[in-house]
């Protein structure tokens, strides 16, 4: 063995030992049990509480709104896209508060001018110019935006 390598040998051995020690202590417990992943993460993910109910559930009590929504340009949206997670509300007969976003900024999340969005997919307005001084829902019915109130 050339002398240069001989001198490097202890360094290699230290690195390899260090690697093995760190691997031993840092590898999560169930890693590798069934494959190249942490097996216990499956149970963890299964135990995450559900938050969304889905539109079919809303339909049980608000079929009028589901029908309205389906008739106009917002038909592709889900109730909970705007009202937020609604499972607790739905499971408690509506007793549990649910979000009602009324501010201009909320509609702007989807509709404000943004050059990285295609105007063919979503109509964009400049919220600093489009009928300022009023809330969007003073004029547009959020469920049927083309049913203008004034």
Whichever of 31 and 139 has its CB closer to ligand HEC, that residue is 139
Residues in the chain: 150
Closest approach, Cβ 63 to ligand HEC, in A, equals: 8
Closest approach, Cβ 116 to ligand HEC, in A, equals: 15
Q: How many whole angstroms from its chain centre is CA 139?
A: 29
125 near ligand HEC, rule: CB under 6 A: yes
Q: Which stretch binds ligand HEC (CB under 6 A): 15-23, 31-39, 41-49, 65-73?
A: 65-73
144 near ligand HEC, rule: CB under 6 A: no
Distance CA(92)–CA(52), nearest Å, equals 14
21 near ligand HEC, rule: CB under 6 A: no
Closest approach, Cβ 44 to ligand HEC, in A, equals: 25
Q: Of 51, 76, 97, 88, nearest to 143 (Cα)? A: 76
Sign of CA dihedral 131, 133, 137, 138: negative
Q: Enumerate residues 93-112 that contact ligand HEC by CB under 6 A.
A: 93-94, 98, 100-102, 104, 106-111
């Amino acid at each position: 063995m050339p002398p240069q390598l001989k001198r490097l040998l202890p360094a290699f051995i230290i690195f390899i030992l260090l690697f093995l020690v760190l691997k031993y202590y840092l590898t999560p417990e169930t890693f590798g049990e069934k494959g190249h992943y942490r097996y216990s993460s499956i149970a963890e993910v299964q135990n995450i509480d559900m938050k969304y109910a889905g539109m079919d559930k809303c339909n049980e009590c608000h079929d009028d709104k589901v029908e309205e929504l389906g008739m106009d340009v917002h038909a592709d949206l889900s109730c909970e896209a705007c009202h937020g997670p609604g499972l607790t509300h739905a499971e408690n007969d509506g007793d549990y508060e649910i979000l009602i976003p009324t501010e201009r900024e909320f509609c702007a999340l989807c509709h404000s001018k943004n050059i990285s969005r295609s105007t063919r997919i979503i109509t964009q307005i400049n919220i600093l110019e489009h009928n300022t001084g009023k809330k969007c829902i003073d004029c547009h019915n959020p469920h049927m935006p083309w049913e203008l109130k004034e």
